[in-house]
Chains A and B, each alone.
Chain A
């Protein structure tokens, strides 16, 4: 008890010192959804100046020896604020930074964890996918956020997962698992055996309309498997911090299946891409936010995938 208290105090002091050094970067607010499992809930929104890019769920898990961080946010500053949040809870070092896929809102805080003992973990296909997009991502983040994006750059995972792997935090093991192309071509999930917590990354969206940047067919297949997993806590990439026991997976499946069915029918009827996109323009999908931004795009992605089916 005493050493833990000392550690917490040390962590707090360090967090405060670090926060002032970074221009008083406030630690991110986190919920402890299970013992030693902390989740910061990002806004359900597109990246914008008023949210500073704080739009994805970011987590950390505290073991007896060290801490694993799961996703790091859209900017170096968000990564620093996440690190400050870690320091408020523990003085233990961060030994793993896990990225669930290559999208900027999940990886661009990595820079804040460099220089320590943290090793960066991702799907084996993440580096190539991020590398091809990083320039564009940095440009977009910088244009949208200005100074808030200062110092933001890609830091690539070097611990690469092709099937699955186990990370030991001391008295706590995390199973990381790479998936075939679904939300993206480099999705990775994380499972904490101790608390039965599964992090899906963006394989599961809650509230935020799912975004297809991989394969709608592949994604539906991955959902078949995720739905079979007995979990006590379920952390989506966007939306609520814990959706275990809700219909979140079923709702996402329904949306993706509906997109696939709509597009297949249109293709069979000889409808072109334009007509399909136009039909989705301005359409609010019931129960989802950000339909306007992402639904037409999803139709476009599904169309260019499904027109190859026979």
Chain B
């Protein structure tokens, strides 16, 4: 847990400080059994004194492997479960990894046009830990769910299996529509960005120095000029960031993804979607 100062990196959120100002509410679910130290420190900065409902059934689900095959690229999904029938939708989701040097993985923003709040990505996990997903609904209520994941070393692992090739292709993007995209319904797309997403936590032993953190921090996706998903993320996202998300397919249009990294690198990808939902 070295270099804790990175806790507050990236999101500009006042998440530092490990004072336990607020305890997790008692209630049903797993909150009492959750290892709460880190969470107690994070919660005030992120959510203040707001109530967090730990019965998230029917609101969100979190999918994680129990044991990671590769701690530097652990696949995770947060799925919004509201069907819109009660008029509510999920407008924001947080992804947190308690035991990571930077517990906040990211904040994902959704819109009525999003076609359902749902995001799959890959994260670095540094130690055996709880992973938490917190959803904010359109009526400003918070819901939390959490899973335990066994993995270690993901953040201090070096970025790349092929360092030279990784630098050459930096900024290359792929934006593709999952088949089949049903016209008028929710379509699904994947955004891939070639980026080392350097954590700054893997020491170079010969120079005894840490590299500068260098990672994708912002993603904005729109379809037919309407926002689909905006995300602010940290280097807890794995190398070559991948995001799968929904968008509502209502006629032909262009899906546009813009990406910004911590060195003010800007990257853009577009996918033309025809009336039949093919790209």
Which A residues contact B (CB, under 8 angstroms)? 125, 127-136, 140, 154, 156, 181, 184-185, 213-215, 270, 272-274, 277-278, 281, 296-297, 299-301, 304-305, 307-308
Q: A61 to chain B: closest CB distance in Å?
A: 28
Return chain A residues, CB-CB under 8 Å to B3: none
Shortest CB distance A267–B (Å)? 10
Q: Which residues of B contact A (CB under 8 A)?
A: 63, 65, 69-70, 73, 75, 77, 120, 122, 153, 156-158, 161-165, 169, 172, 174, 178-179, 192, 194, 202-207, 238-240, 242, 244
Contact of B206 among A131, A307, A308 (CB under 8 A): A131
Q: Could you list 30 examples of A-B contacts with CB < 8 Å?
A: A125-B163, A129-B158, A129-B163, A130-B205, A132-B158, A132-B202, A133-B158, A134-B205, A135-B202, A135-B203, A136-B156, A136-B157, A154-B205, A214-B162, A272-B120, A273-B75, A273-B122, A273-B242, A274-B120, A277-B65, A296-B69, A297-B69, A299-B69, A300-B70, A301-B70, A301-B161, A304-B240, A305-B161, A308-B172, A308-B194
Residue of A nearest to B70 (CB): A300
Interface centre among B158, B192, B240 (most CB of A within 10 A): B158
Interface majority SS (helix, strand, loop, mixed), chain A: helix
User: Which 9 A-B pairs give the minimum distances between C-beta atoms?
Assistant: A132-B158, A274-B75, A296-B69, A134-B205, A131-B206, A273-B75, A270-B178, A181-B162, A300-B70
B192 touches A156 (CB 8 A): no
Least distance between A6 CB and chain B CB atoms (Å): 41
Q: How far is the CB of A52 from chain B (nearest CB, A)?
A: 22
Are A272 and B162 neighbours in the complex by a CB distance under 8 Å?
Answer: no
Residue in A213, A272, A281 with the greatest tally of chain B CB atoms within 10 Å: A272
Known: A136-B153, A300-B69. A185 touches B162 (CB 8 A): yes
Taking a contact as CB atoms under 8 Å apart, the answer to whether A127 and B206 are in contact is: yes
> What's the least CB distance linking B160 to chain A, in Å?
8
Q: A136-B153, A181-B162, A274-B63 are in contact. Are A308 and B192 (CB under 8 A)?
A: yes
Point out the residues of chain A lying under 8 angstroms from B70, CB to CB.
Answer: 297, 300-301
Chain B residue contacts of A296, Cβ below 8 A = 69
Q: Which residues of B contact A181 (CB under 8 A)?
A: 161-162, 165
Nearest Cβ in chain B — how far from A50, in angstroms? 21
Q: How far is the CA of A130 from the CA of B204 in the complex (A)?
A: 9
State the Cβ distance, B6 to closest chain A Cβ, in Å. Answer: 17
A174–B153 alpha-carbon span in the complex (Å): 37
**B-chain residues with CB within 8 Å of residue A301 when the two chains form the complex:** 70, 161
Across the interface, do A184 and B161 meet the contact criterion of CB distance under 8 Å? Answer: yes
**Which residues of chain B are within 8 angstroms of A304 by Cβ–Cβ distance?**
73, 122, 238-240
Let me know if B162 and A215 touch, CB within 8 A: yes
A278 — which chain B residues lie within 8 A by C-beta? Answer: 65
